[in-house]
Homo-oligomer: A and B are copies of this chain.
Amino acid sequence: MAPSSRSLRAEILAVGSELLTPFRSDTNSLFITSRLNDIGIPVAGKAVVADRREDLAAAVGLALGRVELVVVTGGLGPTDDDVTREAVAEALGRPLDEDPEIVERLRARFAARGLEMPDINRRQARILRGAEVLPNPNGTAPGQWVEHEGRLVVLLPGPPREMRPMLERVVGERLGPLAAGARIYRRVLKIAGRTESHVEQLAQPVYSNWERWKPPVATSILASPGQIELHLSVRAETPEAGESTLARAVDELQAVLGSDVYSTDGRSLEEVVGGLLRAREWRAATAESCTGGLVCSRLTDVAGSSDYVERGVVCYSNRAKTELLGVAPEMILEYGAVSKPVGLAMAVGARERARVDIAVGVTGIAGPGGGTEQKPVGTVFVAVVWAGGQVVERFRFPGGREQVKFQASQAALNMLRRVMERAAGSGGVAGEGR
Protein backbone atom coordinates (compact mmCIF):
# COMPACT_ATOMS: atom_id res chain seq x y z
CA MET A 1 0.00 0.00 0.00
CA ALA A 2 1.38 3.35 -1.03
CA PRO A 3 0.69 6.35 1.20
CA SER A 4 -2.19 8.52 0.05
CA SER A 5 -1.87 11.89 -1.62
CA ARG A 6 -0.97 15.19 0.12
CA SER A 7 0.54 13.48 3.18
CA LEU A 8 3.85 12.94 1.37
CA ARG A 9 7.02 14.43 2.80
CA ALA A 10 10.42 13.30 1.60
CA GLU A 11 13.93 12.77 2.85
CA ILE A 12 16.89 12.36 0.52
CA LEU A 13 19.88 10.19 1.34
CA ALA A 14 22.95 10.60 -0.86
CA VAL A 15 25.29 7.64 -0.52
CA GLY A 16 29.03 7.83 -1.03
CA SER A 17 32.10 8.27 1.14
CA GLU A 18 33.51 10.60 -1.50
CA LEU A 19 30.66 13.00 -0.66
CA LEU A 20 32.14 13.22 2.85
CA THR A 21 35.48 14.49 1.59
CA PRO A 22 36.22 18.18 1.05
CA PHE A 23 36.18 17.66 -2.72
CA ARG A 24 32.71 16.53 -3.64
CA SER A 25 29.33 17.90 -2.77
CA ASP A 26 25.98 16.25 -3.21
CA THR A 27 24.37 18.05 -6.14
CA ASN A 28 21.84 15.31 -6.92
CA SER A 29 19.68 16.32 -3.97
CA LEU A 30 19.10 19.78 -5.47
CA PHE A 31 17.69 18.25 -8.63
CA ILE A 32 15.61 15.73 -6.69
CA THR A 33 14.28 18.49 -4.44
CA SER A 34 13.31 20.55 -7.45
CA ARG A 35 11.36 17.77 -9.12
CA LEU A 36 9.64 16.70 -5.88
CA ASN A 37 8.70 20.32 -5.13
CA ASP A 38 7.25 20.56 -8.63
CA ILE A 39 4.59 18.05 -7.65
CA GLY A 40 4.07 19.60 -4.23
CA ILE A 41 6.23 17.22 -2.16
CA PRO A 42 8.39 19.13 0.34
CA VAL A 43 11.81 17.83 1.36
CA ALA A 44 12.02 17.62 5.13
CA GLY A 45 15.66 16.66 5.40
CA LYS A 46 18.67 15.37 3.55
CA ALA A 47 21.82 13.59 4.52
CA VAL A 48 25.04 12.23 3.12
CA VAL A 49 25.93 8.74 4.30
CA ALA A 50 29.22 6.87 3.92
CA ASP A 51 29.53 3.63 1.93
CA ARG A 52 28.99 1.56 5.09
CA ARG A 53 26.10 -0.81 5.11
CA GLU A 54 25.27 -0.46 8.78
CA ASP A 55 25.34 3.36 8.66
CA LEU A 56 23.09 3.47 5.62
CA ALA A 57 20.69 0.85 6.99
CA ALA A 58 20.35 2.92 10.17
CA ALA A 59 19.79 6.12 8.20
CA VAL A 60 17.10 4.52 6.04
CA GLY A 61 15.39 3.16 9.16
CA LEU A 62 15.39 6.57 10.84
CA ALA A 63 14.13 8.35 7.73
CA LEU A 64 11.26 5.84 7.43
CA GLY A 65 10.28 6.77 10.96
CA ARG A 66 9.99 10.44 10.02
CA VAL A 67 8.67 10.75 6.47
CA GLU A 68 6.56 8.88 3.95
CA LEU A 69 9.03 8.95 1.06
CA VAL A 70 12.72 8.10 1.27
CA VAL A 71 14.82 8.71 -1.84
CA VAL A 72 18.24 7.05 -1.81
CA THR A 73 20.70 8.03 -4.54
CA GLY A 74 24.03 6.33 -5.21
CA GLY A 75 25.64 3.09 -4.19
CA LEU A 76 24.00 0.98 -6.91
CA GLY A 77 27.19 0.27 -8.86
CA PRO A 78 28.78 -3.14 -9.20
CA THR A 79 31.59 -2.79 -6.66
CA ASP A 80 32.12 -3.67 -3.01
CA ASP A 81 31.65 0.01 -2.20
CA ASP A 82 28.12 -0.12 -3.50
CA VAL A 83 26.14 -1.06 -0.44
CA THR A 84 22.73 0.54 -1.03
CA ARG A 85 20.91 -2.63 -2.08
CA GLU A 86 22.16 -4.59 0.94
CA ALA A 87 21.62 -1.71 3.38
CA VAL A 88 18.02 -1.10 2.32
CA ALA A 89 17.35 -4.86 2.41
CA GLU A 90 18.59 -4.84 5.99
CA ALA A 91 16.55 -1.77 6.94
CA LEU A 92 13.34 -3.19 5.49
CA GLY A 93 13.98 -6.78 6.55
CA ARG A 94 13.57 -8.02 2.97
CA PRO A 95 15.86 -10.41 1.09
CA LEU A 96 17.52 -9.63 -2.25
CA ASP A 97 16.84 -11.86 -5.25
CA GLU A 98 18.91 -11.95 -8.44
CA ASP A 99 16.72 -11.03 -11.41
CA PRO A 100 17.77 -13.21 -14.41
CA GLU A 101 16.18 -10.75 -16.87
CA ILE A 102 18.39 -7.94 -15.60
CA VAL A 103 21.47 -10.16 -15.80
CA GLU A 104 20.61 -10.81 -19.45
CA ARG A 105 20.05 -7.12 -20.15
CA LEU A 106 23.42 -6.28 -18.58
CA ARG A 107 25.16 -8.95 -20.62
CA ALA A 108 23.56 -7.60 -23.81
CA ARG A 109 24.60 -4.05 -22.88
CA PHE A 110 28.22 -5.08 -22.54
CA ALA A 111 28.05 -7.24 -25.67
CA ALA A 112 26.78 -4.28 -27.73
CA ARG A 113 30.09 -2.58 -26.95
CA GLY A 114 32.06 -5.73 -27.75
CA LEU A 115 32.77 -6.45 -24.09
CA GLU A 116 32.13 -9.39 -21.81
CA MET A 117 30.20 -8.58 -18.65
CA PRO A 118 32.48 -8.78 -15.60
CA ASP A 119 31.06 -11.13 -13.01
CA ILE A 120 30.77 -8.40 -10.37
CA ASN A 121 28.07 -6.68 -12.43
CA ARG A 122 25.68 -9.47 -11.39
CA ARG A 123 25.37 -7.60 -8.10
CA GLN A 124 23.43 -4.93 -9.99
CA ALA A 125 20.71 -7.49 -10.73
CA ARG A 126 19.92 -7.99 -7.03
CA ILE A 127 16.40 -6.73 -6.36
CA LEU A 128 14.60 -6.24 -3.04
CA ARG A 129 11.84 -8.79 -2.75
CA GLY A 130 8.55 -7.09 -3.69
CA ALA A 131 10.28 -4.14 -5.35
CA GLU A 132 9.59 -2.93 -8.87
CA VAL A 133 12.57 -2.45 -11.15
CA LEU A 134 13.14 1.04 -12.60
CA PRO A 135 14.93 0.63 -15.95
CA ASN A 136 18.12 2.61 -16.53
CA PRO A 137 18.57 3.35 -20.25
CA ASN A 138 21.78 5.29 -19.53
CA GLY A 139 23.73 2.88 -17.40
CA THR A 140 24.00 -0.55 -15.85
CA ALA A 141 22.42 0.17 -12.45
CA PRO A 142 18.64 -0.32 -12.42
CA GLY A 143 16.66 1.62 -9.81
CA GLN A 144 14.12 0.16 -7.44
CA TRP A 145 10.69 1.24 -6.10
CA VAL A 146 9.44 -0.37 -2.90
CA GLU A 147 6.22 0.14 -0.99
CA HIS A 148 6.81 -0.83 2.63
CA GLU A 149 4.31 -0.54 5.45
CA GLY A 150 2.58 2.47 3.96
CA ARG A 151 5.84 4.21 3.07
CA LEU A 152 7.83 4.49 -0.14
CA VAL A 153 11.50 3.87 -0.72
CA VAL A 154 13.02 4.76 -4.10
CA LEU A 155 16.57 3.72 -5.04
CA LEU A 156 18.22 5.76 -7.77
CA PRO A 157 21.74 5.54 -9.24
CA GLY A 158 24.27 8.23 -8.34
CA PRO A 159 25.54 9.48 -11.73
CA PRO A 160 23.32 12.47 -12.62
CA ARG A 161 22.79 11.40 -16.22
CA GLU A 162 21.41 8.08 -15.04
CA MET A 163 19.57 9.41 -12.00
CA ARG A 164 17.79 12.32 -13.67
CA PRO A 165 15.81 10.56 -16.41
CA MET A 166 14.91 7.79 -13.97
CA LEU A 167 13.63 10.33 -11.45
CA GLU A 168 11.65 12.13 -14.17
CA ARG A 169 9.80 8.91 -14.91
CA VAL A 170 9.22 8.14 -11.24
CA VAL A 171 7.84 11.64 -10.71
CA GLY A 172 5.70 11.58 -13.85
CA GLU A 173 4.32 8.07 -13.60
CA ARG A 174 4.30 7.16 -9.93
CA LEU A 175 4.67 10.08 -7.52
CA GLY A 176 2.77 12.70 -9.56
CA PRO A 177 -0.54 10.80 -9.42
CA LEU A 178 -0.11 10.24 -5.64
CA ALA A 179 0.66 13.88 -4.90
CA ALA A 180 -2.44 15.28 -6.64
CA GLY A 181 -3.40 18.87 -5.74
CA ALA A 182 -1.34 21.98 -5.16
CA ARG A 183 1.96 22.11 -7.00
CA ILE A 184 4.94 24.35 -7.16
CA TYR A 185 5.38 26.21 -10.47
CA ARG A 186 8.66 27.82 -11.45
CA ARG A 187 10.23 30.12 -14.01
CA VAL A 188 13.83 31.13 -14.46
CA LEU A 189 15.02 34.39 -15.99
CA LYS A 190 18.59 34.19 -17.24
CA ILE A 191 20.72 37.29 -17.61
CA ALA A 192 24.17 37.74 -19.12
CA GLY A 193 26.47 40.71 -18.99
CA ARG A 194 25.33 42.24 -15.68
CA THR A 195 26.57 42.05 -12.10
CA GLU A 196 24.48 40.58 -9.32
CA SER A 197 24.15 43.92 -7.54
CA HIS A 198 23.03 45.67 -10.73
CA VAL A 199 20.32 43.06 -11.28
CA GLU A 200 19.35 43.11 -7.60
CA GLN A 201 19.02 46.90 -7.60
CA LEU A 202 16.59 46.79 -10.51
CA ALA A 203 14.73 43.64 -9.53
CA GLN A 204 14.35 43.93 -5.75
CA PRO A 205 11.77 46.78 -5.79
CA VAL A 206 9.73 44.64 -8.17
CA TYR A 207 9.80 41.24 -6.52
CA SER A 208 9.56 42.53 -2.95
CA ASN A 209 5.86 43.27 -3.71
CA TRP A 210 5.15 39.70 -4.69
CA GLU A 211 5.04 38.48 -1.09
CA ARG A 212 1.63 40.15 -0.83
CA TRP A 213 0.26 38.50 -3.97
CA LYS A 214 -2.22 35.66 -3.66
CA PRO A 215 -0.61 33.24 -4.22
CA PRO A 216 2.74 34.86 -3.29
CA VAL A 217 5.70 34.47 -5.64
CA ALA A 218 9.05 33.57 -4.06
CA THR A 219 12.25 34.81 -5.71
CA SER A 220 15.86 33.90 -5.35
CA ILE A 221 18.94 35.11 -7.18
CA LEU A 222 21.68 32.75 -8.27
CA ALA A 223 24.84 34.44 -9.43
CA SER A 224 27.96 33.03 -10.98
CA PRO A 225 30.63 34.84 -13.02
CA GLY A 226 29.00 35.83 -16.32
CA GLN A 227 25.51 34.63 -15.48
CA ILE A 228 22.69 35.73 -13.17
CA GLU A 229 19.52 33.70 -12.73
CA LEU A 230 16.30 34.84 -11.10
CA HIS A 231 14.31 31.83 -9.90
CA LEU A 232 10.60 32.47 -9.36
CA SER A 233 8.27 29.95 -7.75
CA VAL A 234 4.64 29.88 -6.71
CA ARG A 235 2.51 27.22 -5.07
CA ALA A 236 -0.87 27.04 -6.77
CA GLU A 237 -3.88 24.78 -6.93
CA THR A 238 -4.13 24.71 -10.73
CA PRO A 239 -1.65 25.02 -13.60
CA GLU A 240 -3.60 28.05 -14.87
CA ALA A 241 -3.30 29.89 -11.54
CA GLY A 242 0.39 29.01 -11.28
CA GLU A 243 1.34 29.90 -14.83
CA SER A 244 -0.65 33.14 -15.03
CA THR A 245 0.80 34.38 -11.75
CA LEU A 246 4.31 33.59 -12.97
CA ALA A 247 3.66 35.19 -16.37
CA ARG A 248 2.67 38.43 -14.62
CA ALA A 249 5.81 38.28 -12.45
CA VAL A 250 8.05 37.61 -15.47
CA ASP A 251 6.48 40.58 -17.31
CA GLU A 252 7.15 42.90 -14.39
CA LEU A 253 10.81 41.85 -14.23
CA GLN A 254 11.31 42.14 -17.97
CA ALA A 255 9.92 45.66 -17.85
CA VAL A 256 12.85 46.72 -15.66
CA LEU A 257 15.58 44.34 -16.93
CA GLY A 258 14.85 44.64 -20.66
CA SER A 259 16.95 42.82 -23.17
CA ASP A 260 19.55 41.84 -20.58
CA VAL A 261 17.25 38.88 -20.04
CA TYR A 262 18.16 36.33 -22.66
CA SER A 263 15.85 33.52 -21.69
CA THR A 264 12.67 32.99 -19.67
CA ASP A 265 12.01 29.39 -20.70
CA GLY A 266 15.05 27.59 -19.34
CA ARG A 267 17.07 27.71 -22.56
CA SER A 268 20.81 28.21 -22.35
CA LEU A 269 22.53 31.12 -24.07
CA GLU A 270 23.93 28.80 -26.75
CA GLU A 271 20.45 27.45 -27.44
CA VAL A 272 19.08 30.98 -27.77
CA VAL A 273 21.86 31.94 -30.19
CA GLY A 274 21.28 28.72 -32.14
CA GLY A 275 17.55 29.48 -32.33
CA LEU A 276 18.23 32.97 -33.71
CA LEU A 277 20.67 31.62 -36.33
CA ARG A 278 18.18 28.96 -37.35
CA ALA A 279 15.29 31.43 -37.57
CA ARG A 280 17.34 33.69 -39.87
CA GLU A 281 18.80 30.74 -41.81
CA TRP A 282 22.20 32.20 -41.04
CA ARG A 283 25.44 30.26 -40.79
CA ALA A 284 28.14 31.22 -38.33
CA ALA A 285 31.90 30.92 -37.83
CA THR A 286 34.07 31.59 -34.80
CA ALA A 287 37.62 32.90 -34.50
CA GLU A 288 39.01 32.42 -31.03
CA SER A 289 42.22 33.08 -29.21
CA CYS A 290 41.95 33.24 -25.39
CA THR A 291 38.76 31.15 -25.26
CA GLY A 292 40.63 28.32 -27.00
CA GLY A 293 37.58 26.86 -28.76
CA LEU A 294 35.11 27.23 -25.91
CA VAL A 295 32.74 29.50 -27.88
CA CYS A 296 32.56 26.99 -30.74
CA SER A 297 32.29 24.06 -28.34
CA ARG A 298 29.35 25.69 -26.52
CA LEU A 299 27.60 26.49 -29.82
CA THR A 300 27.98 22.86 -30.85
CA ASP A 301 26.63 21.55 -27.53
CA VAL A 302 23.20 22.17 -29.06
CA ALA A 303 21.66 19.28 -31.01
CA GLY A 304 21.35 20.15 -34.71
CA SER A 305 24.00 22.87 -34.54
CA SER A 306 25.71 21.46 -37.64
CA ASP A 307 22.88 23.23 -39.53
CA TYR A 308 24.32 26.64 -38.65
CA VAL A 309 27.89 26.25 -37.36
CA GLU A 310 30.15 26.17 -40.41
CA ARG A 311 33.56 26.20 -38.78
CA GLY A 312 35.68 27.61 -36.03
CA VAL A 313 39.33 28.39 -35.76
CA VAL A 314 41.47 28.69 -32.67
CA CYS A 315 44.44 30.91 -33.40
CA TYR A 316 46.63 30.55 -30.38
CA SER A 317 49.72 31.71 -32.27
CA ASN A 318 50.12 34.95 -34.23
CA ARG A 319 51.08 32.89 -37.28
CA ALA A 320 47.76 31.06 -37.12
CA LYS A 321 45.93 34.41 -36.97
CA THR A 322 47.62 35.43 -40.18
CA GLU A 323 47.44 32.08 -42.00
CA LEU A 324 43.90 31.10 -41.05
CA LEU A 325 42.25 34.53 -40.85
CA GLY A 326 44.41 36.88 -42.88
CA VAL A 327 45.20 39.17 -39.95
CA ALA A 328 48.09 41.38 -41.14
CA PRO A 329 51.30 40.74 -39.18
CA GLU A 330 51.88 44.52 -39.14
CA MET A 331 48.58 45.03 -37.35
CA ILE A 332 49.55 42.51 -34.70
CA LEU A 333 52.93 44.22 -34.32
CA GLU A 334 51.40 47.67 -34.04
CA TYR A 335 48.42 47.01 -31.74
CA GLY A 336 49.28 43.67 -30.15
CA ALA A 337 47.44 40.36 -30.58
CA VAL A 338 45.05 41.40 -27.81
CA SER A 339 43.54 44.55 -29.27
CA LYS A 340 40.40 45.95 -30.82
CA PRO A 341 41.73 45.96 -34.42
CA VAL A 342 42.95 42.35 -34.18
CA GLY A 343 39.69 41.13 -32.62
CA LEU A 344 37.80 42.79 -35.44
CA ALA A 345 40.17 41.50 -38.12
CA MET A 346 39.75 37.97 -36.75
CA ALA A 347 35.96 38.20 -37.07
CA VAL A 348 36.19 39.77 -40.55
CA GLY A 349 38.64 37.08 -41.69
CA ALA A 350 36.50 34.27 -40.31
CA ARG A 351 33.37 35.59 -42.00
CA GLU A 352 35.07 36.09 -45.36
CA ARG A 353 36.97 32.82 -45.47
CA ALA A 354 34.10 30.68 -44.21
CA ARG A 355 31.65 32.61 -46.43
CA VAL A 356 29.09 32.72 -43.63
CA ASP A 357 26.53 35.33 -42.57
CA ILE A 358 27.97 36.15 -39.17
CA ALA A 359 31.24 35.62 -37.34
CA VAL A 360 32.61 36.34 -33.90
CA GLY A 361 36.22 37.03 -32.95
CA VAL A 362 37.60 36.78 -29.42
CA THR A 363 41.08 37.76 -28.27
CA GLY A 364 42.21 38.37 -24.72
CA ILE A 365 44.44 37.53 -21.80
CA ALA A 366 43.09 34.56 -19.83
CA GLY A 367 45.99 34.62 -17.37
CA PRO A 368 47.56 33.96 -15.02
CA GLY A 369 50.52 35.29 -17.07
CA GLY A 370 50.61 37.76 -19.95
CA GLY A 371 49.00 40.78 -18.34
CA THR A 372 50.40 44.31 -18.61
CA GLU A 373 49.48 47.61 -17.02
CA GLN A 374 47.52 48.70 -20.08
CA LYS A 375 46.02 45.25 -20.65
CA PRO A 376 45.76 43.40 -17.36
CA VAL A 377 44.76 39.73 -17.08
CA GLY A 378 41.06 39.44 -17.90
CA THR A 379 41.16 42.00 -20.72
CA VAL A 380 39.17 40.59 -23.65
CA PHE A 381 38.03 42.04 -26.99
CA VAL A 382 34.98 40.56 -28.70
CA ALA A 383 33.98 41.49 -32.25
CA VAL A 384 30.92 40.47 -34.25
CA VAL A 385 30.74 41.00 -38.01
CA TRP A 386 27.66 40.44 -40.16
CA ALA A 387 26.23 41.65 -43.47
CA GLY A 388 24.70 44.70 -41.79
CA GLY A 389 27.74 45.90 -39.89
CA GLN A 390 30.30 45.22 -37.24
CA VAL A 391 30.72 45.82 -33.53
CA VAL A 392 33.64 45.36 -31.17
CA GLU A 393 33.74 45.68 -27.37
CA ARG A 394 36.40 45.65 -24.70
CA PHE A 395 35.79 43.74 -21.45
CA ARG A 396 37.66 43.21 -18.21
CA PHE A 397 36.72 39.98 -16.43
CA PRO A 398 37.66 39.04 -12.85
CA GLY A 399 38.73 35.59 -11.69
CA GLY A 400 41.14 32.86 -12.72
CA ARG A 401 41.89 31.45 -16.14
CA GLU A 402 38.81 29.26 -16.47
CA GLN A 403 36.49 32.00 -15.17
CA VAL A 404 37.93 34.47 -17.67
CA LYS A 405 37.51 31.93 -20.47
CA PHE A 406 33.91 31.26 -19.52
CA GLN A 407 32.97 34.92 -19.12
CA ALA A 408 34.59 35.74 -22.46
CA SER A 409 32.61 32.94 -24.16
CA GLN A 410 29.48 34.24 -22.46
CA ALA A 411 30.18 37.77 -23.76
CA ALA A 412 30.79 36.43 -27.29
CA LEU A 413 27.52 34.49 -27.34
CA ASN A 414 25.63 37.42 -25.82
CA MET A 415 26.95 39.82 -28.47
CA LEU A 416 25.90 37.37 -31.21
CA ARG A 417 22.45 37.32 -29.62
CA ARG A 418 22.14 41.08 -29.38
CA VAL A 419 23.29 41.64 -32.94
CA MET A 420 20.77 39.16 -34.29
CA GLU A 421 17.94 40.52 -32.16
CA ARG A 422 18.69 44.04 -33.36
CA ALA A 423 19.21 42.89 -36.95
CA ALA A 424 15.66 41.56 -36.80
CA GLY A 425 14.50 44.83 -35.24
CA SER A 426 12.71 42.94 -32.51
CA GLY A 427 14.69 43.33 -29.32
CA GLY A 428 12.58 40.44 -28.13
CA VAL A 429 13.57 37.83 -25.62
CA ALA A 430 13.78 34.11 -26.24
CA GLY A 431 10.74 32.43 -24.84
CA GLU A 432 8.68 35.58 -24.84
CA GLY A 433 5.04 34.97 -25.58
CA ARG A 434 5.36 31.23 -25.12
Contacts and interface: CB of A to CB of B under 8 A. Distances in A.
Nearest to A124: B197
Contacts of A295: 293
A316 B310 contact: yes
Contacts of A310: 316-317, 319-320
Interface in A287-302: 288, 291-297, 299-301
B300 A297 contact: no
Contacts of A46: 20, 47-48
Nearest to A20: B43
A254 interface: no
Q: Contact size class for A?
A: 35 or more
A244 interface: no
Interface string A278-321: 00000000101001111111011101111001111111110110
Contact of A50 (B26, B45, B225): B45
Nearest to A233: B21
A369 interface: yes
Interface stretch (A29-37, A87-95, A171-179, A380-388): A29-37
Contacts of A317: 306, 310-311
A62 interface: yes
A392 to B, nearest CB: 17
A18 B231 contact: yes
A313 B312 contact: yes
A221 interface: yes
A309 B45 CA distance: 48
A398 interface: yes
Given A224-B159, A292-B301, A293-B293, A121 B311 contact: no
Interface stretch (A127-135, A401-409, A426-434): A401-409
Contact of A306 (B223, B312, B316): B316
